[in-house]
Every structure is written in C-alpha cells, then in structure tokens.
Amino acid sequence: MILETFPVGPLQCNCTILGDEVSGEAIVVDPGDEVARIARRLTELSLKLKQIIVTHAHIDHVGGALRLKQLTGAPILLNENDLPLLQMMDDQAGWIGIPTPETALPDAGLADGQLVGLERYPAEVLHTPGHTQGSVCLHFAPLKLLIAGDTLFAGSIGRTDLPGGHSGQIIESIESRLLVLPDETKVLTGHGPATTIGAERKSNPFLR
Ligand SMILES: [Zn+2]
C-alpha cells in the first residue's frame, strides 16, 4: 500500500494519495491546490488515478479537483449536500483573497454507507454534517484508517461559522459516527497533524 499525505495550497489542506502497487490504481482525497505536484507524484509512483474524492466543497479542499480530473480523466466524487457551496466558489475565493478556481459539478455523489476507493482498500462513506452540510469522512476499516476532512482535528473540531455550518450537528456527527470507531483508528485530518480516535475521545476539549 502507498499512503502519502502532504499539505497543499495557502491554507495547507492535507491532500492524500492512497495507492495499490499491485493493481497500479490510486485515489486522491482533497486535491485543494498544487495539482501539478499531485499529478507528478502519481506519475512517479506509476499509479493510475481511479477516483478524486472531495470530503467537502470548501475551496481549499476542492479547488484543484477539476484540474486533476482534466489531467487524469478520473471522476470527482462529492456529497450532493455541498453543491450549494460548490456554486459559491467566487465568494469562497473572496474570503481568502485568491483567484476563483474553475470547478464543475461532481461526476458522482458520496452517499452515507457507499463504498468508494480501491478494490483492495475500500472505504465506507460516513456522512458527518456540521462543518458543512455535505461533509463526509472516509473509513477504511481494514486499514484502521479514517480520513476526516475538516470534521475532526487533533485537539479540535471543524469550524461551524461558515455557510452550512452547524455547531450542534458537528458534535452529534463526531460522537455518533466517529467516536464509535475503534480507539486505534488512525485519523488523517484536513489540516495539521494526524491523530487517533482514542486520543480524541480521551482529550479533545470540544468533545466533553
Ligand atoms: Zn473546510
């Protein structure tokens, strides 16, 4: 298995490449920016991109998705509840003062319970609204791995003051969908360091 996470763009969104060296296939999660670098890495690893998965439609997570699709032909997957945010890309670019990236409607949704990812490394989609209405986490149960987008951070949780955010809902999502996962589950967060479900259950000050 190939698993690489690296921050991209001015807001340092964690982008993840998960690849299977046997099948030669990969997925990319949250290609927010620096698409040339992501594409170059896929080429270096001899991986063919199968899916572009976007945890939510904030500009720093979705901004490079269309460009990556144009370079690789891979479909973009995004939960339909974030389509209103996708259509606010001009506003989002204005919030952080960067040019508006070109975006397009996703090729497929990311519904709760849906299986995505690679044949050997499938993930279940967990719909975890609160940071945005279409926020999802990806649970790779056999790998004991969660990609959490901006829902859960090491020692923190996603902000809920932007359009579509809801503070009670994000706590409910985290408690009912994420804290029920095994303690040893590694969590790749949308920004900053990785953590584990056990560490967050024990010490995250937003979850007590
Ligand atoms: Zn976000």
Q: What pLDDT shows up at residue 202?
A: 97
**In terms of Cα–Cα distance, which of 82, 11, 5, 2 is closest to 38?**
5
> Whose CA is closest to 26, among 45, 47, 43?
47
Mean local confidence (pLDDT), 46-51: 98
The pLDDT of residue 79: 98
CA distance 105 to 17: 22
Interval between CA 113 and ligand 1 midpoint (Å): 21
Q: 56 C-alpha to center of ligand 1: Å?
A: 7
- 24 CA → ligand 1 middle, Å: 30
Q: Which residue has the tokens 């409607």?
A: 105
pLDDT band with cut points at 50, 70 and 90 for residue 111? very high
* Mean pLDDT taken over the chain: 97
Cβ 126 vs Cβ 177: under 8 Å: yes
Rounded CA-CA distance 8/40 in Å is: 14
Q: What is the pLDDT of residue 208?
A: 79
When pLDDT is cut at 50, 70 and 90, the band that residue 187 belongs to is very high
What is the pLDDT, as a whole number, of residue 29? 98
**What's the gap in Å between 132 CA and the centre of ligand 1?**
7
| Whether residue 63 has pLDDT greater than 90 | yes
CA of 22 to the centre of ligand 1 (A): 33
Name the pTM for this structure: 0.97
